[in-house]
Structure 1
Amino acid sequence: MDILIALGFVAVVLVVADRLLLLLESHGHLNWRRSGRKKLPAEPGVGLEHLLEEPVREGR
């Protein structure tokens, strides 16, 4: 009987957590289930490469 109560409690916690995450998603705080993944640009690392390049110094 204790295992049924524990499984029921776990189910309730999961449903409440899901509803909370859906509420946060409706307010725009995160993406959970309803909104799909955002499309990544074709080359997402170009900006990072530019930031990590060492500056070219002209020799005298």
Structure 2
Amino acid sequence: MEIVIAFLFVAIVLFGVDRLMLWLERRGHVNWRRTKRRDLSGEPTAELDTLLAHSSQEPKRP
């Protein structure tokens, strides 16, 4: 009987967390289930190779 109560408690907690996350999503704080992912191909990118190449040209410390 205790295992049934434990499963019900877990289900209720998960349902509550899901509702909380949906509420936060409506307010614009998180992307949970309703919002699709952004297309990152159009976003500006920082080229990691150029950032790392400049760090090797720094003066050496004595």
Structure-1-length-normalised TM-score: 0.74
Taking a change above 3 Å as real, the CA distance of residues 39 and 14 of structure 1, as seen in their structure-2 partners, is same
CA deviation after TM superposition for structure 1 residue 49, in Å: 3.1
Question: 1:38 and 1:7, CA in 2 relative to 1: closer, same or farther beyond 3 A?
Answer: same
2-structure distance, mates of 1:30, 1:37 = 11
Q: Which residue of 1 aligns with 2:60?
A: none
Q: TM-score, normalised by structure 2?
A: 0.72
Q: 1:43 to 1:50 in 2, by over 3 A?
A: farther
Q: Letter of the aligned partner of 2:48 in structure 1?
A: E
Q: How many residues align?
A: 55
1:6-49 per-residue CA deviation (whole Å, 9 max, x = no partner) reads 0000000000000000000000001000001111126864x233
Give the unaligned 5+ runs of structure 2.
58-62
Aligned position for 1:14:
14
Q: Name the structure 1 match of 2:26.
A: 26
Identity percentage over the alignment? 47
Which segments of 5 or more consecutive residues in structure 1 lack a partner in the other structure?
none
Equivalent in the alignment of 2:48: 49
- The one-letter code sitting in structure 2 at the alignment partner of 1:48 is E
- In terms of fraction of residues, the more helix-rich structure is 2
